[in-house]
Amino acid sequence: MKLVFATNNRHKLEEIRALVSDSIHIVGLHDIGCHDEIEETETTLEGNAKIKSDYVHDKFDLNCFADDTGLEVEALEGAPGVYSARYAGENASFQDNVDKLLDNLKDEDNRKARFRTVISLILGEQQYFFEGICEGEITREMHGEKGFGYDPIFRPLGSELTFAEMSMDEKGRISHRGKATEKLIAFLNKHS
Ligand code: IMP
């Protein structure tokens, strides 16, 4: 089955391809010739995931899913949350966002945080949502060079390593996106 993942993030495409069985052929936006910038204008992860999946479905008439992820920090009342990608500004780099978060937490002992992913799937004109959560904490310094985004400063509960110190497989087994994807795959296997 061909399924569009409404993203151009090659890390996300790689992560998800490693998790799905070979019978599900995942393609990215560039693979279907979609080079549009899809604006995420909603204030919830669910809303933004829906915008992206709806856009591809409406324009290309293809089965599609989209995800939206936020890092929710307890001491910051859930920030950066839905604004994780642009925490340090509209064109912020991963490093800018990490620096801002570490700075905002520099005098904070409560380091609790969680990643939350919501996947919106459109399959045969129906819409479905799947959620995955990974609890953990924000480290005081960056550790590791793998992954992307906030990976070097996020240590999942029960682990001594940050996401950036783990292989893609290790991260995928416990991550927010891994858990949401597991639910998506279980659903697809049942319905394909
Ligand atoms: P997105 O909207 O799903 O692309 O995620 C928003 C932002 O959250 C990204 O720009 C990253 O900074 C961050 N993010 C999403 N997933 C992860 C992850 O697995 N590890 C680290 N950061 C992530």
Which residues have any ligand 1 atom within 6 Å of their CB? 67-69, 71, 84-85, 94, 97, 147-151, 163, 175, 177
Phi and psi, residue 43, nearest 5° = -110, 10
Residue nearest to atom 7 of ligand 1 (CA): 85
Residue range 35-41: average pLDDT?
A: 92
* Region 2-191: CATH code: 3.90.950.10
Between 10-19 and 176-191, two packed helices, what is the crossing angle to 10 degrees?
Answer: 50
Domain residue limits, the chain:
2-191
DSSP characters over 9-55: -HHHHHHHHHHS-TTSEEE-TGGGT---------SSHHHHHHHHHHH
DSSP-derived letter for residue 182 is H
Confidence of residue 32 (pLDDT cuts 50, 70, 90): very high
Q: Is the pLDDT of residue 192 over 70?
A: no
Q: How far is the CA of 85 from the centre of ligand 1 (A)?
A: 6
Give me the pLDDT at residue 12, please.
84
pLDDT at 79: 98
Position 169 confidence tier, pLDDT thresholds 50, 70, 90: confident
Determine the Cα–Cα distance for residues 73 and 71; give it in Å rounded to an integer: 6
* pLDDT tens digits, 52-83: 999 999 999 999 999 999 999 999 999 999 99
